[in-house]
């Protein structure tokens, strides 16, 4: 099957504080996350696009894992590709060295920029303002790598993005033992494959990832009592977990209902059943489950 051009914009980046490596990408292309982003903890990250040569993903990671810089790995891959003029690639290596390449046959506007720990690139864009906005957002946004990658992607999208429109977006971030149970490196791996405005949906997924996979500090615990607990009892009642009155007392029936609810919603680690407290973000999430007409 003849490859279709993937006109898109992306960022690859490295965060030494975790350490972590990641890719964020968006395009007017179905399921861009299935093609463009590649990353491996301890090796680096690759975005391969335009008339994408997907062997650049595993090939680039293998070379960087062997100790080659992003620039060396990229040059080696391009030297072996007879159609390199059609490719666009961004790479960041194990130490944050970055490289970007735009072939002369990529559709305008096409180009990229690099900085300390990142490379931004795009083709068939509305103009250079897209990659410029992405670079600025990445460097100016505080926080962890997933948040900075998302900020860059949103900035590029709102600056014009793919001039054909919007369809899909993805974010992939890896770090050692970052995956479920620590068994792999896949810390963040979310895709919106087909939607008229996909980038904001990635942010919703990132927020849900934090809610369900990270534990808040003790300072964020809220005592379950009074009006707050009455609201939660209402939610549990509507969901079929609680049959008692809305009295705002943390009795045995309320505790048992709460145990069932947080297990159902994958929020057990954010709840202290014996102490009768719950993390503020988890509480906020659960209270949104009340029927609008019946919220206290």
How many other C-beta atoms are found inside a 10 Å radius of the C-beta of residue 15? 20
Residue 3 lies in a domain: no
Domain CATH for 94: 3.60.20.10
191, 213, 235: which is the final residue of a domain? 213
In a domain, 1, yes or no: no
Among 213, 245, 266, the domain-final residue is 213
- Tens of pLDDT, residue by residue over 276-290, are 999 999 999 999 876
For the chain, the domain total comes to 2
The 10s digit of each residue's pLDDT in 152-209 is 999 999 998 888 889 999 999 999 999 988 999 999 999 999 999 999 999 999 999 9
Strands 118-122 and 111-115 turn out to be antiparallel
The separation between CA 26 and the C-alpha centre of its own chain, rounded to angstroms, equals 12
Is 209 in the same domain as 245? no
164, 185, 213 - which closes a domain = 213
Domain that holds residue 173: 8-213
170 — phi, psi (to 5°)? -155, 155
Does residue 256 share a domain with residue 206? no
Q: Under DSSP, is residue 82 helix (H, G, I), strand (E, B) or coil?
A: coil
Q: What band does 36 get if pLDDT is binned at 50, 70 and 90?
A: very high
Other Cβ atoms closer than 10 A to 196? 7
Verify that 52 and 137 share a domain, yes or no: yes
- 288 or 40: which leads in pLDDT: 40
Whether 209 and 165 share a structural domain: yes
Query: 94 and 229, same structural domain?
Result: no
DSSP state of 77: H
Q: CB-based contacts of 210: which residues, under 8 Å, 6+ apart? A: 281
In a domain, 192, yes or no: yes
Q: Same structural domain for residues 32 and 61?
A: yes
> 126: burial class by Cβ within 10 Å (0-12, 13-18, 19+)?
middle
Q: Which residues pair with 279 in a beta bridge?
A: 221
What is the β-pairing status of strands 98-102 and 111-115? unpaired
Same domain (yes/no): 102, 79 = yes
């Amino acid at each position: 099957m003849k490859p279709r051009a993937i006109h898109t914009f992306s960022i690859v980046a490295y965060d030494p504080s975790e350490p972590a490596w990641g890719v964020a990408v968006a395009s007017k292309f179905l399921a861009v996350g299935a093609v463009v982003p590649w990353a491996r903890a301890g090796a680096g990250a690759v975005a391969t696009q335009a008339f994408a040569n997907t062997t650049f993903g595993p090939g680039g990671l293998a070379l960087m894992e062997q100790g080659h810089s992003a620039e060396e790995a990229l040059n080696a891959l391009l030297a072996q590709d007879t159609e390199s003029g059609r490719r666009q690639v961004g790479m960041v290596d194990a130490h944050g060295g970055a490289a970007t390449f735009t072939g002369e046959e990529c559709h305008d506007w096409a180009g990229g920029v690099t900085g300390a720990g990142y490379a931004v690139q795009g083709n068939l864009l509305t103009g250079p303002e897209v990659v410029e906005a992405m670079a600025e957002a990445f460097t100016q946004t505080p926080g962890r790598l997933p948040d900075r990658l998302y900020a860059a992607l949103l900035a590029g999208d709102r600056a014009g993005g793919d001039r054909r429109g919007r369809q899909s977006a993805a974010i992939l971030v890896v770090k050692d033992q970052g995956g479920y149970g620590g068994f792999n490196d896949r810390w963040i791996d979310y895709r919106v494959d087909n939607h008229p405005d996909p980038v904001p949906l990635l942010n919703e997924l990132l927020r849900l990832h934090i809610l369900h996979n990270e534990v808040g500090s003790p300072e964020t615990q809220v005592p379950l009592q009074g009006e707050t607990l009455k609201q939660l009892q209402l939610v549990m009642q509507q969901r079929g977990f609680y049959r008692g009155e809305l009295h705002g007392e943390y009795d045995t029936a309320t505790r048992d209902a709460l145990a069932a609810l947080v297990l159902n919603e994958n929020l057990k680690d954010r709840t202290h059943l014996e102490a009768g407290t719950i993390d503020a973000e988890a509480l906020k999430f659960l209270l949104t489950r009340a029927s609008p007409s019946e919220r206290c």
